[in-house]
Structure 1
Amino acid sequence: MFLLRRLARLTVSLAVLLLASFSMIHLIPGDPVRASLGTAAPAELVAARRAELGLDEPIHQQLLGYLKGVLTGDFGTSLQTRETVAGIIADRLPSTAELAVLAALIALLVAIPMGMWLAIRTENGRNPGSELAFTTATGTIAAIPEFLLAVGLVVVFAITLGWLPPAGKDGPASYVLPVIALTVGPVAVLARLVRVEALRELDKDYLRMARAKHLPRRRLYLRHLLPNTLTATLTVGGLLLASLIPGTVLVENVFAWPGLGQRMTESILQKDYPVAQAVILVYGAIVLLVNFLVDVALGVLDPRSAIRGT
C-alpha cells in the first residue's frame, strides 16, 4: 500500500507537471511564434511555423499531441536552430547531471561527518565556542545565493589568482568551481540538520545503554548513531539535494557550462519556446522522481513511516 500510494502521488504530480508545461506556451502574452520569428517575419512564415508546431489545431488536439510526443520522446524542434529538442536534451543533460551528482555526493560526504562530529563535540553544552562558530558560519554560508557565490569564486580563483579556468568544460579543473558553487550551500544546511538530529539521538536511552556497555566509539557512532541520524534527516536532505538539478541553471550560466540550464536560459531569451518547455518539463520530472525515491528509501529504512503513510 505504501508503494502504491507513492506511485499514485508521483503519477498525479507528473500529470500536473505535464499540464503546466503544456500551458506555458499558451499562457505567454501574444503569439510565441511571432515573438520568436520577429515582428518583421512574413505572415506566411508565421502561419507555416504555427502549423508545424500544431498551434493552429484545437486546444484538446494540441494537448493530445503534446502528451503523445512526451510519451514517445518527441518534443518537437527548436525554432532557432531547427535541431530536435530531444537531441538537445540528450546532448546537454549529461553535463548538468555530472554537476548535480558530484555536488550531491560531496555534500553528503562532507556534511554528514561534519554534523555528527559537531554533535558529539557539543553534546550536553560542551564546547560552546565550537557551537557558536559552527552555527554562525553555516548560517551565513547558507544565506549566500548560489549565483553570488559563483561570481565570487570566479573573481577570486579564476581572475585574481588564476588557479582555475573561469568558464567552459575542459578537463577536471573546469569542474572545481561549478561544483563548489553548488555544494557549499547544501553542505551548510545539511550539516546543521545532521547535528540537530544527532544531538537528539545522543540523548535517547538506547545510546545511553550502549555507552553503559562500554562499546567502542567506532561501533557506537557508526552502527547506532549514524543509521538513526540518517533516517531522520533523509526526507529534508533528499528535498535539498533534489533542488541541485534546477539549481544548476544559474551556476551553468556563470561558468558557461554546456548543460541544460544554460540552454534553457538561451531558449527563453531567444523565445525558443519548444526547448524551454521541454527543459522545464525534464527538470520538474527529475525533481519529482528524486523525491519519490527518497520517500521509498525512507519507507525501507524506517518502516514505521510507511505504516503512518508519511
Structure 2
Amino acid sequence: MAQQTASTAVEQSPSERPQRSPWLGFLLRRTVRLVVSLFALITFAFLIIHLVPGDPVRKALGLNASPELVSSIRAELGFDLPLWQQYLKYLGDLFSGNLGVSLASRLPVGETIGNLLPNTLLLAVIAFVVVMVIAVPLGMLMAVLTQNGRRRGVELSFTTVSIVVSAIPEFLLAVGLVYLFAVTNPWFPIAGMDGPASFVLPVAALALGPIAAMSRIVRVEALAVLGLDFIRTARAKRLPAWRIYLRHALPNALTATLTLSGLLLSGLVAGTVLVETIFAWPGLGPSLVSSILDNDYPLVQAIVLVYGGLVLLINFVVDILLGLADPRSTIKET
C-alpha cells in the first residue's frame, strides 16, 4: 500500500498537480490590509475628541452655555458614557450610516458631507486629468528632444524648471495665481464655483506641481525605453517616427507613470484642503478648516474619515488594477 502511494506521487508530474491561483491570495491580502487600515483610521478619528484637553462640548458651545445645555449635548453625543462604550456606540453609528450632528449648525453631518464631497471630487478628478494629459506628452517630447545627450540646454532648462515648480507647495502656488490672474490681471474668478472659468485657478494650483514631477518621470522612463533593442529594430525597419514613439515607446514608458497615478490622485484629493480654502471652493476643505476653528468635533471626525477613506480606497483600487495588468505582482513576496 505504501509502495503504491509512493508510486502515485512519483508518477504525478508537478504540472499535473493542482496549482492555486495567486490572484485569490493577492486579493485577500489587499482586502485585509484595507480593512485593517480603515479600522486604524476609524480609531484615530474617534480619539481626536478624547486627545484634545478639556471638554469638547464646552469648547464648541462656548463659555456662556448653560450647564443644562452642556449636559444635554454630552448625553446626546454619548460623552457621559465610559470610553469603551463610546467607542462601541461610535462604531455602531458609523456602520449604520449615522455620522452624528454638527455642533455648530445642528445639521446631520452626513447631509453636509453629501452636499460638499462631489465638489471636492470634481476638482481633484479634473486636476488629475489635466496632469495626465499635459505631463505625459510633455515628458515624451522632452525625451525625444534630449535623447542621446542632444540639446543639453533644453534638458537643463526643463529639469531646473520642473524641480523648482514641483517643490512649491500648493497653497503658495494658489496665492501666486490669485495675485497674478485675479488681482493684478482680473481674468479669472477669485472665489467660488461659478462656471468653467472658476475651475481654472484651483485646478492650476493643484496640477502645476504634479505636472512638473510627472513629466520628469515620464521623460526618464521614455529615455530608458528609447535605448532598448526593439526601438533600434523599429528604426532599422524605417518605421515612421510617430509610430515608433506613440505605438512602441510610449506604452512601455507609461508603466511607472500608471503605477504612480494612484499616489498622484490621492495626493490631489488631500491637496484640495488648502486650495479649496484659498479659493472659497464649496468643498470639504473649507468645512474642515472652519469645523476645527469652531471645535465642531463630529464634523471634523467625519471629514477626516472621508479624506482618509478616499486615499485608502484609491490605493486599494490601484493595487488591484496593477495586479490585473501585471499578474507577476500578485505573487506573494517572500
Structure 2 length-normalised TM: 0.89
Q: What is the aligned partner in structure 1 of residue 70 from structure 2? A: 46
Gaps of 5+ in 2: 1-24
Question: How far apart in 2 are the matches of 1:195 and 1:306?
Answer: 28
Q: Which residue of 2 aligns with 1:13?
A: 37
| Cα distance between partner residues in 2 of 1:227 and 1:4 | 30
53, 61, 67: which one aligns with 2:91? 67
SS at match of 1:81: coil
When structure 1 is superposed on structure 2, of 143-152 and 224-233 the one drifting more is 224-233
Which of 154, 163, 169 is the aligned partner of 1:145?
169
Q: Distance in 1 between matches of 2:328 and 2:98?
A: 42
The answer for the alignment partner of 1:212 in structure 2 is 236
Mapped partners of 1:64, 1:211: distance in 2: 66
Equivalent-residue separation in structure 1 for 2:331 and 2:251 (angstroms): 19
2:256 aligns with 232
Taking the aligned partners of 2:27 and 2:251, their CA distance within structure 1 comes to: 22
**Does 2:143 align with 1:135?**
no
For the pair 1:251 / 2:275, whether they are aligned, the reply is yes
TM alignment of 1:126-205, pairs within 5 A = 126-205=150-229
Identify the match of residue 54 of structure 2 among 30, 41, 48.
30
Contact 2:142 2:219 in 1 (8 A): yes
1:239 positional shift = 0.8
Contact map agreement 1:150 1:254 (CA 8 A) in 2:
yes
For 2:291 and 2:176, locate their aligned partners in 1 and report how far apart those are by CA, in whole Å.
Answer: 26
CA distance in 2, matches of 1:220, 1:305: 28
Aligned residue number for residue 331 of structure 2: 307
Stretches of structure 1 lacking an aligned partner (at least 5 in a row):
none
Measured after TM superposition, the shift of residue 308 of structure 1 is 5.5
The 2-side partners of 1:296 and 1:207 are apart by 30
- Asked whether the equivalents of residues 190 and 237 of structure 1 are also in contact (C-alpha less than 8 Å), the reply is no
**How far 1:66 moved relative to its partner?**
1.4
Given the alignment of the two structures, is residue 108 of structure 1 paired with residue 132 of structure 2, yes or no? yes
CA distance in 1, matches of 2:155, 2:332: 35
Q: Which whole-Å CA distance do the structure 1 matches of 2:46 and 2:240 have between them? A: 58
For 1:76-95, list aligned pairs within 5 A: 76-95=100-119
Moved more, 165-174 or 272-281: 165-174
Amino acid at match of 2:86: Q
**Cα gap change, 1:227/1:90 in structure 2, threshold over 3 Å: closer, same or farther?**
same
The structure-2 alpha-carbon separation of the partners of 1:110 and 1:18, relative to structure 1 and needing over 3 Å to count, comes to same
Q: How many residues align?
A: 310
Question: Taking structure 1 as the reference length, what is the TM-score of the superposition?
Answer: 0.96
CA positional deviation for 1:219? 2.8
Deviation at residue 156 of structure 1 after TM alignment: 1.2
The answer (yes or no) to whether the contact 1:102–1:179 under 8 Å persists in 2 is yes
- Matched residue SS, 1:122: helix
The equivalent position to 2:80 in structure 1, one of 56, 70, 94, is: 56
Work out the CA distance in 1 between the residues paired with 2:190 and 2:288: 21
The amino acid across from 1:289 in the alignment is: L
Deviates more, 1:202-211 or 1:24-33: 202-211
Cα deviation, 1:74-103, whole Å, max 9, x if unaligned, reads 100000100100000000001111110100
- Distance in 2, Cα, partners of 1:201 & 1:292: 28
Greater Rg over alpha carbons, structure: 2
Percent of aligned pairs with the same residue?
57
Equivalent residues in 2 for 1:257-268, closer than 5 Å: 257-268=281-292
Q: Give the drift of 1:307.
A: 2.6
CA RMSD of aligned residues (A): 1.5
Q: 2:16 aligns to what?
A: none
Q: Decide which moves more: 8-17 or 232-241.
A: 232-241
C-alpha contact (below 8 Å) 1:93/1:259 kept by paired residues: yes
Distance 1:46 1:97 in 2: 36
